[in-house]
């Protein structure tokens, strides 16, 4: 399983942007980059995913390096409700691999008011 490296924790001020980095130097050409988050006492929640191009949705933006060996999840204005563990996950896009998600330790994001 392709591995990702994330900082253990980060801290942000409310209403400010947050950039959560992820390194995935062993990424293969068929790996999609997925981000999930887990709020306290809840199940993980999908945030965003991409393959090569930067992606935007209502929750966040995903910036992918040109060589795809790193990516950054961007929360444009952090709120207290964004305090969670953020997971960067590589998913093999080849269907017969079962489409499993391999979660690492993630980054604990703390948001200060």
Partner 1 sequence: DTAVSQTPKYLVTQMGNDKSIKCEQNLGHDTMYWYKQDSKKFLKIMFSYNNKELIINETVPNRFSPKSPDKAHLNLHINSLELGDSAVYFCASSQVDRSSYEQYFGPGTRLTVT
Q: Which residues sit at the interface with partner 1, rule CB under 8 A?
A: 32, 34, 36, 38, 41-46, 49, 51, 85, 87, 91, 93, 95, 98-103, 105
CB closer to partner 1 out of 13 and 99: 99
In whole angstroms, the minimum distance from the beta carbon of 12 to partner 1 comes to 21
85 closest CA partner among 50, 35, 48, 51: 35
Q: Are 82 and 76 in contact (CB under 8 A)?
A: no
Q: Are 77 and 20 in contact (CB under 8 A)?
A: no
76 closest CA partner among 91, 59, 63: 59
CB closer to partner 1 out of 98 and 113: 98
CB closer to partner 1 out of 49 and 61: 49
Q: How far is CA 104 from the centre of its chain?
A: 11
CB closer to partner 1 out of 13 and 103: 103
In whole angstroms, the minimum distance from the beta carbon of 34 to partner 1 comes to 7
């Amino acid at each position: 399983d392709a591995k990702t490296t994330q900082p253990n924790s980060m801290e942000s001020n409310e209403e400010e942007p947050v950039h959560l980095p992820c390194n995935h130097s062993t990424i293969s050409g068929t790996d999609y980059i997925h981000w999930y988050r887990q709020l306290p006492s809840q199940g993980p929640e999908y945030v965003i995913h991409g393959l090569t191009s930067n992606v935007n949705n209502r929750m966040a933006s995903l910036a992918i390096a040109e060589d795809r060996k790193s990516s950054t999840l961007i929360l444009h204005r952090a709120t207290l409700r964004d305090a969670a563990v953020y997971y960067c996950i590589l998913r093999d896009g080849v269907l017969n691999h079962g489409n499993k998600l391999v979660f690492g330790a993630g980054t604990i994001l703390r948001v200060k008011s």
